[in-house]
A and B are shown apart, each in its own frame.
Chain A
């Protein structure tokens, strides 16, 4: 029907994208989605093969060259300067204005015009650090549009967004496509593929397995193509076997990084053998709650007791020694030391105790043995135990974190976004691991912005809004609409 404006072939991958479509690139972590896109954006050079754009073979040697072909990219991790304003970030690197001077007013006007047209609401004069994650992403899209991109590559754009923000993003994308833009949308979430795309190409192990029309396929088929086997969507979940009260959080107050109140009298209980899910829109105190409970942030007021022992404002090390495991949100920034080996990362918390050290010396043999066992038990795919963690895929890094945190059978597990950014296979495994810990009798606080995850995993669901508990409901009786309202701060009196 249409011409083929772009044909990519690299490392044996053939990808054909039509003008004016939303084309999803679906695959597990390490399937080569991001690599392929980086080739398109000029960050990597193909060793073989060619890129054909509007019928002509082109060579994209740098992001700047990509932009000259009107290819724009919104990275998974944003490339913004937090201390500059939105407008400054948008024009950064462009030769705008006369001589060294920028016509700020005119620039802001131009940005506002683009923003209004596509529903990308954001104040051009706001500093980027003041913006929410969703707003920052809009700035990234604005950057590409300001540079007159006609092909927009979006690398896992929804992984950082709330459900509402995802809806907004999708409506923006549809407007863009109506305007003639082409969008390549990288994801590993099947729901998104079904909702947003016109066509989808499935990648597995660096190869394009198939390209299908979204209207002619379904989730099960895509999942099978992606993983290479049938995928069970229902988790096997045993009946909850709730034991003693293990964690009591009572009237906790804490500030966020900007010194504003983030937790304002948070209170709840957690029992052994249950998963308590914490739902809420990003930025309502989830992060601060996890940090207070793990000793990374000081509470200003309140009490936290673990099995009757006061835990509030203990150091991270003391809390860890009390049997609290922490699966942090940012596994690369906080959870691991990317430049250190798998072996060393696995003893990051236990290195100072036997068998990993005797006196002042480390026992490398014990660390090696521990690493071999962990790699086996948690199916960590790494070339060797001496591989730096930074070269592993997200799923494997999370396996390293879990293997470390869950060793020594913790009493309480604080898991923040444990499957964030993971592919189907890894997500499935992480969830099974957490459920096994629950069945063993550990209490688990599961913080997630993925409502589906909260609903399937939790025994009880707690909704956090502006640092307060809006309510705790039984997961079996939970309706997503009611949770959605509570997340928006409605229904407070029912508490």
Chain B
């Protein structure tokens, strides 16, 4: 009992948003327990990916897109942000708090991650135990 809570964060990031196409964070404090998933465009994020991340025991999820006006696919980052907002509301309905999920643009990743981690310390770990029944399909 009393072990320090280290949030587990799943990061879905657009490969075009980072140099070399690899998610990076410059603040070493934010680097712990991050699992990242690359996407060809942030718009390929789907509601189910974000929810599945929580079902796979993520405490928080971050979606990273290109800065405003810089999406190679025109509006991909706009769509991604809207989809994140939709799932945030769904998480509130589920009772898990939409604050566990954030969207950010590359370049603001460190600040967003710091804020997310701070929020997760207040919210606590993912209240849902890892599900034994993961629909294999």
| A, B from the same assembly | no
